[in-house]
Structure 1
Amino acid sequence: LRTPLAALKARIELGLREQQPQRWRQTLEEAQEHTDRLIHLANQLLSLARIESGAQTIAEGGAQRLDLSELAREVGLAMAALAHQRGISLALEAEGPVWVEGESTLLSELISNLLDNALAHTPRGGNVVLRVLADAVLEVEDDGPGIPPAERKNVFTRFYRVQHQRHGAGIGLAIVGEVSRVHRASIELDQGALGGLRVRVRFPAGESAPRPQ
């Protein structure tokens, strides 16, 4: 956090030295952009901290039976406005209830980070698909530039960024990796049917129906 905070402070100080109102406006717009990135980074760091608490809850037998399709629907709706703002089509493909054992906050974090990553690297006019399959598999697929095969094993490392990516701190997929580990889920990265990246998270399958009360 220190580096982007220092950059933001320096930009504001430079703006204060300007005499032209147009330059002040430009400084404010740049400061707003930097602030948005800082907020996003802070939220991701808080997410990493929450994973430890969630992992303890699961380890102590506090996992719940959750409908992965419903979680995907809730997160997808929450991020629909962002997709629209960026000119990207966001679609949900979910079958009936798909039950998994887990912690709802962490699984929502996993889905939102996968979608955020896809939306960040899909060009305007592109497509992102959030998909839940009956065998407890979650997929997020886009038609962006994808990730070169040689780099796929590194993207779950904290602060690692793919060479062609300009934005982001390299935390989103690290969160996905940590949440998957806690839930004993496997992750696969490959090229999807849309031509971009497809991330597949495979959970230990739950029963096909909720437990009787």
Structure 2
Amino acid sequence: MQADLTAFHVENQPFEGFVFTDVSLVEFIDQAVDRGIDEFYVFEDRTAEGGVDFGGVCYIHGERAHTRYVESDERLGPQQEQSESRGSVGMLGGFGRDESEEEVQRKKEVATELLNQYADYLEESERFDLENRVESMRLRQLERMQERIEKEARTDPEEEKRLARIAYEDDRFHRQFNQTDTEMLLEELDVEYDPDLVRMDEVHKRAKSLLKINK
């Protein structure tokens, strides 16, 4: 049965979500449709020559991102994908390219650094990937993981808790607030903080959690 689906092209995928590795791209889309999903986000990085270097498909379910990266050896063409899946998310053919020796070596270096220096910040699934399937991961994917984890390692959880408490205690803060609203509220309150030490998405989530617990 054909489903009417919408695909949005974006630059990246929200990090705090689930990455699917044991299902095909077609199965991933079909499972999403079975969950009632009809909007997908197709993200991609392009080379200087305009070719697609890395990409994937993401959808939101239960307020969490669900992602299927397109590996280098997957080259689904439009006709194949349209005939096998039940939507119009297709047209993903061409993701991936052969990697140079320098890129392969760089992937190993990033994985080693993350495992040796940032093991405490890795999720179990991330540690497994770094230990067992680095060769099938894209360099850009690893670099994004490295960037996120290095940022997380620099953050100050106590400062995030402080900002969340300030936002929560303001009478204007309510359940419909999104992350941008929370950030703007802190600006209106002239709250001083180092943006390099806090994750505003974490501040927002903590403030919303306080709201759920106490009101």
Instruction: Give the TM-score band, short-chain normalised.
Output: under 0.3
TM-score (norm 1): 0.22
